[in-house]
Amino acid sequence: QKEVEQDPGPLSVPEGAIVSLNCTYSNSAFQYFMWYRQYSRKGPELLMYTYSSGNKEDGRFTAQVDKSSKYISLFIRDSQPSDSATYLCAIRETSYDKVIFGPGTSLSVIP
Amino acid sequence: NAGVTQTPKFQVLKTGQSMTLQCAQDMNHNSMYWYRQDPGMGLRLIYYSASEGTTDKGEVPNGYNVSRLNKREFSLRLESAAPSQTSVYFCASKDYEQYFGPGTRLTVT
Instruction: Tell me the C-alpha distance between A88 and A71, whole Å.
Output: 14
A3, A45, A101, A106: which to substitute to probe chain B, counting the most B Cβ within 10 Å? A101
Instruction: Tell me the C-alpha distance between A45 and A34, whole Å.
Output: 10
Q: Looking at residue A96, what is its pLDDT?
A: 60
Identify any residues that bridge with A87 across adjacent strands, giving them in sequence order: A37, A105
Q: Looking at residue B16, what is its pLDDT?
A: 97
**Is the pLDDT score of B40 beyond 80?**
no
Peptide bond into B39 cis (omega under 30): no
Q: Looking at residue B22, what is its pLDDT?
A: 97
Nearest of A64, A65, A109, A91 to residue A5 by alpha carbon: A91
Q: Which residues of B touch A43 (CB under 8 A)?
A: 4, 90, 92, 100-103
Q: Looking at residue A80, what is its pLDDT?
A: 97
Cross-chain residue pair B97–A104, CB shorter than 8 Å = no
pLDDT tens digit sequence for B62-106: 999 999 989 999 999 999 999 999 999 999 998 878 899 999 999
Predicted confidence pLDDT, tens digits, chain A (111 residues) = 678 999 878 999 999 999 999 999 998 888 889 999 999 999 999 999 888 788 999 999 999 999 999 999 999 999 999 999 999 999 988 756 678 899 999 999 999
Q: Looking at residue B97, what is its pLDDT?
A: 82
Residue B25, judged by CB atoms within 10 A of its CB (0-12, 13-18, 19+), counts as buried
Q: Looking at residue A97, what is its pLDDT?
A: 64
Cross-chain residue pair B101–A44, CB shorter than 8 Å = no
Amino acid identity for residue A27 in this structure: N
The string of DSSP codes covering A21-64 is: EEEEES-TTEEEEEEEEE-TTS--EEEEEE-SSEEEEETTEEEE
Which among B42, B99, B103 is the nearest to A101, CB-wise? B42
Q: Rounded mean pLDDT of chain B?
A: 94
